[in-house]
A and B are shown apart, each in its own frame.
Chain A
Amino acid sequence: MAVVEREKLLEVKNLKKYFPAGKKGVLKAVDDVSFDIYKGETLGLVGESGCGKSTTGRTIIRLYDATEGEVLYEGDDVHDKKSRSELKKFNRKMQMIFQDPYASLNPRMTVKDIIAEGIDIHGLAKTKKDRENRVYELLETVGLNKEHANRYPHEFSGGQRQRIGIARALAVDPDFIIADEPISALDVSIQAQVVNLMMELQKERGLTYLFIAHDLSMVKHISDRVGVMYLGNIVELTTSDELYEEPLHPYTQALLSAIPVPDPELERSRERIILEGDVPSPINPPSGCRFRTRCPHAMDVCAAVKPKWQEAREGHWVACHLYDEEAVKQQN
């Protein structure tokens, strides 16, 4: 497949992020996650709340310091001890768009100053006029206009604010954007506007995206490849078409079958895999495979051994004993 030939932009290797929980507890939000992101692609990351998808995104951009593991951006480790100036270099290449357009814009700053903050920090504008022109240009790029520059965030609707958030991310001319649930706070008709804008920008500027979301249909729409997370682990990763047509991991299968489809006839006839129970606590996760407590196919080996992260088919990675011949043999 062409994907294999492409140049890696980002390599995440055995990334772990633990948070202290209580006196002795440790919350393993992200526990040994590895994946690559290729130049120009969109990698989707899906999973339910608490699975660690946002923590993964935030650790990649170093909003959190990793507990262990590496994040290589064009071969350079983001988490290596870096001076401020070295980090600044990364910050220009990597930007983030946040979920809540109401909380992610400073209400006391004008749109112009919000967008230009990155331009100022990195000294990208020589004169005041230059700074202004850049802001105007960015506003137009995201479908707003010049007149909006001197207004405050509260004067905008949710969709417009998310556009401002996108303009802010674009201001430093990044190569890589992490979008953490960028549309889940928006109405359906506005979601489509923002997704279309993001896809257009990607085409024009050759951007690479890490798109984090829980809405699987939107993730399928925007992503080239999709990773599925469960309780701090990635359980499956492949191209978005293959993931939706032939999901291998039982969790992915359940997740896909749980989405209600806007088609009444299909809904009436569809067989659903309904998972029992809730996601276990990440403070004390199950041994072996973390999904085994809810998995309809769980075997004895699943409790004993953590499944290997392996390529079951070309370009289709999965961590499940069902696809590990040795494990299945052992079981029988």
Chain B
Amino acid sequence: MEKLLELDNIHVSFQTYGGEVKAVRGVSFTLEKGESLAIVGESGSGKSVTSKSIMRLLPNKIGSIKQGSIKFQGKDLAKASEREMEKIRGAEISMIFQDPMTSLNPTMTIGKQIMEGLRKHQNMSKSEAKERAVNLLKLVGIPNPELRVDEYPHQFSGGMRQRVVIAIALSCNPKVLIADEPTTALDVTIQAQILDLMRDLQDKTGTAIILITHDLGVVANLAQRVAVMYGGMIVETGTVDEIFYKPKHPYTWGLLASMPKLNAESKELLAIPGTPPDLMNPPKGCPFAARCPYAMEVCLENMPEATDVSSSHKAACWLLDERAPKVEPPEEALVGGAR
């Protein structure tokens, strides 16, 4: 497989009134051509900040990439100039945002918004771009695209707007599509439509997807590989089967156990006690140690290294050290075949 995007030890901080918030603390991963990688985590885990730093969309007065490199086709995006980024955004890497209600311009027709990128990046004439816009609307499943192309966002429903956002993101055939909670604001039946569409489009276009979400159901549906984030770090990464069926990190166990299963009888949910760490003063050791039922002394003092479980599966946990006691995941965390 060909490496498309490679993040190496990315650190992102925000300067706030109260001090420096270390939102992302050493994130590394690679994205291969045509694959879909899900980044899972709770609010404040740094998943959105990571994706925004790839696009260099951090608020530039207060947020900055402190360290690390983002290699995309041989170029380091972390050091690219604003001009260089403008050529990449939308053309090579594009993004779908969570809220389709606010990510479209209410004063511009849908067609104009789709054409914007085409005109800028591909130097299309107006009529060419319009034709392409109609085709894109058809591709994302909007009925009567010839008429709808001249309508405004308020004339579309939430699901339809998200389809338009996807059409815009795909307009210039990007190599990477970053989808930040693309279905969170949608209803389940509409979510099913959009997930279906994204899978279908990926098959057709071969675009690599970075899916950012907190919904493990969506991950199981769409992703091939998964990175679990907590406290600004990736605590576990592996193929979707490895993460769901052979999870190694207690936080991943906790996430899986705290979700009610539709096909199991109701027992008490295994909640993760406590709340996520304050990234203004991040803990010295493992970020999850304070909430981890298996925490040892070493966890509070030293950050565990990412340990290889298999060639594709890594977890950063002291339990994987050979000196640690053997611990089995709780029964509630076992999914489907592993049960």
Partner-B contacts on A (CB < 8 A): 48-49, 157, 159-160, 187-193, 195-196, 199, 214, 216-218, 220-222, 244, 254-267, 272, 274-275, 278-279
Contact between B244 and A262, CB atoms less than 8 A apart: yes
B153 an interface residue at 8 Å Cβ cutoff? no
- For the complex, what is the distance from the CA of A264 to the CA of B241, rounded to whole Å? 7
B65 an interface residue at 8 Å Cβ cutoff? no
- CB-CB under 8 A from A263, the residues of chain B are 220, 244, 335-337
Distance in Å from the Cβ of A152 to the closest Cβ of chain B?
16
Distance in Å from the Cβ of A278 to the closest Cβ of chain B?
5
Interface residues of B in 322-339 (CB under 8 A from A): 335-337
Closest 5 CB pairs of A and B: A260-B217, A192-B258, A221-B260, A192-B271, A48-B187
- CB-CB under 8 A from B241, the residues of chain A are 264-265
- For the complex, what is the distance from the CA of A191 to the CA of B221, rounded to whole Å? 22
B59 an interface residue at 8 Å Cβ cutoff? no
Interface-forming stretch among B5-13, B91-99, B171-179, B192-200? B192-200
Contact between B188 and A259, CB atoms less than 8 A apart: yes
Offer 9 A-B interface pairs, CB within 8 angstroms, sorted by A.
A157-B275, A188-B259, A193-B271, A195-B269, A196-B268, A218-B260, A263-B220, A264-B245, A267-B220
Contact between B159 and A220, CB atoms less than 8 A apart: no
Contact between B157 and A261, CB atoms less than 8 A apart: no
Cβ contact of A188, chosen from B189, B258, B335, cutoff 8 A: B258
Which single residue of chain A is at the shortest CB-CB distance from B216?
A: A262
- For the complex, what is the distance from the CA of A252 to the CA of B195, rounded to whole Å? 19
Cβ contact of B260, chosen from A220, A257, A279, cutoff 8 A: A220
- For the complex, what is the distance from the CA of A278 to the CA of B194, rounded to whole Å? 12
Partner-A contacts on B (CB < 8 A): 42-43, 157, 159-160, 187-193, 195-196, 214-221, 240-241, 244-245, 254-263, 266, 268-273, 275, 335-337
- CB-CB under 8 A from B187, the residues of chain A are 48-49, 214, 279
Which single residue of chain B is at the shortest CB-CB distance from A272?
A: B192
- For the complex, what is the distance from the CA of A187 to the CA of B291, rounded to whole Å? 15
Distance in Å from the Cβ of B193 to the closest Cβ of chain A?
6
Contact between B259 and A217, CB atoms less than 8 A apart: yes
Cβ contact of A262, chosen from B43, B219, B270, cutoff 8 A: B219
Cβ contact of A191, chosen from B240, B244, B258, cutoff 8 A: B258
- Most interface-central of A157, A192, A256, A264 (chain B CB within 10 A): A264
Contact between B262 and A217, CB atoms less than 8 A apart: yes
How many residue-residue contacts, CB under 8 A, span A and B?
127
Q: A255-B189, A264-B220 are in contact. Are A188 and B240 (CB under 8 A)?
A: no
- For the complex, what is the distance from the CA of A264 to the CA of B244, rounded to whole Å? 7
Distance in Å from the Cβ of B144 to the closest Cβ of chain A?
13
Contact between B262 and A220, CB atoms less than 8 A apart: yes
Distance in Å from the Cβ of A84 to the closest Cβ of chain B?
39
Contact between B260 and A188, CB atoms less than 8 A apart: no
- For the complex, what is the distance from the CA of A209 to the CA of B189, rounded to whole Å? 26
- For the complex, what is the distance from the CA of A216 to the CA of B263, rounded to whole Å? 12
Distance in Å from the Cβ of A204 to the closest Cβ of chain B?
14
Which single residue of chain B is at the shortest CB-CB distance from A260?
A: B217
Distance in Å from the Cβ of A271 to the closest Cβ of chain B?
12
- CB-CB under 8 A from A192, the residues of chain B are 257-259, 269-272
- CB-CB under 8 A from A191, the residues of chain B are 258
Contact between A266 and B188, CB atoms less than 8 A apart: no
- CB-CB under 8 A from A190, the residues of chain B are 42, 271, 275
Q: A217-B259, A221-B266 are in contact. Are A255 and B188 (CB under 8 A)?
A: yes
Contact between A267 and B221, CB atoms less than 8 A apart: yes
- CB-CB under 8 A from A48, the residues of chain B are 187-190
Contact between A189 and B258, CB atoms less than 8 A apart: yes
Contact between A216 and B262, CB atoms less than 8 A apart: yes
Given contacts A187-B42, A262-B335, 19 further A-B contacts (CB under 8 A): A48-B189, A188-B214, A192-B258, A193-B271, A196-B269, A196-B271, A217-B261, A244-B263, A255-B189, A259-B217, A260-B192, A260-B215, A261-B220, A262-B219, A263-B337, A264-B241, A266-B336, A274-B193, A274-B196
- CB-CB under 8 A from B336, the residues of chain A are 263, 265-266
- CB-CB under 8 A from A244, the residues of chain B are 262-263
Distance in Å from the Cβ of A91 to the closest Cβ of chain B?
31
Cβ contact of B275, chosen from A159, A256, A267, A275, cutoff 8 A: A159
Which single residue of chain A is at the shortest CB-CB distance from B141?
A: A276
